[in-house]
Amino acid sequence: MGVNSDPLLGGEGFLTTTIEAFANWGRKNSLWPMPFGTACCAIEMMGVFASRFDLSRFGAEVARFSPRQADLMIVSGTITYKMASVCRRIYDQMPEPKWVIAMGSCTCGGGPFDSYAVVQGIDEFLPVDVYVGGCPPRPEALIDAVMKIQKKIEMKGAPVV
């Protein structure tokens, strides 16, 4: 974006940009997360939304429990195969553009549950943008993940469908 406040132009100033850059600037500063919490990581996620860690400082505090109003899915907690189909359907119902954070060891690679029922990483069925390790991760780690999503939106824009 270019900013110009030349007095010849009236002193009010204006800026030049592209529609795409402008849209992405808006997107990155008002992410609307869809919390998909299934286990203990969800407690940390709630902590991130609440006043102590306050995700609203990054413009992403409006947790939407309808996927149709969200553009960032935070999968936090153990995902079993029975839950995986639900998770996938909810992801499918989110409008484009959309991003996914895999929060915690379980979503990244199954965590301690190397068993018949647990998905060994949600990237088996979802396109994950940012992985957050930890069991559970510190709230700061999730904030960092959201900031990485913001950076990704800024650098690469919306995902191409």
Partner 1 sequence: MSFDAEQTTTLLTKEFPQNILDTKEYRGETTLVVSKEQILNICSYLKDQLDFTFLADLTAVDYLEVKFPRYEVVYHIHRFGPECEENVRIRLKAELAEGDIKIDSVTPVWRGADWLEREVYDMFGIEFAGHPDLRRILLPEDYGPFPLRKDFDVRNREASKRSFENALEEGAD
For partner 1, the binding residues (CB under 8 A) are: 80-82, 84-85, 88-89, 114-117, 120, 125
Q: Are strands 14-16 and 2-4 parallel, antiparallel or unpaired?
A: antiparallel
Secondary structure (DSSP) of 43-102: HHHHHHHSTTT-GGGGT-----SSGGG-SEEEEES--BHHHHHHHHHHHHHSPSS-EEEE
In angstroms, the Cα distances linking 14 to 2, 25, 27, 129 are: 8, 17, 21, 34
- Least distance CB 45 / partner 1 (angstroms): 24
- Least distance CB 85 / partner 1 (angstroms): 4
Comparing CB distances to partner 1, the nearer of 94 and 132 is 94
- Least distance CB 140 / partner 1 (angstroms): 33
Comparing CB distances to partner 1, the nearer of 77 and 110 is 110
Comparing CB distances to partner 1, the nearer of 58 and 113 is 113
Comparing CB distances to partner 1, the nearer of 25 and 113 is 113
Nearest alpha-carbon partner for 38 in 80, 69, 70, 78: 78
- Least distance CB 115 / partner 1 (angstroms): 6
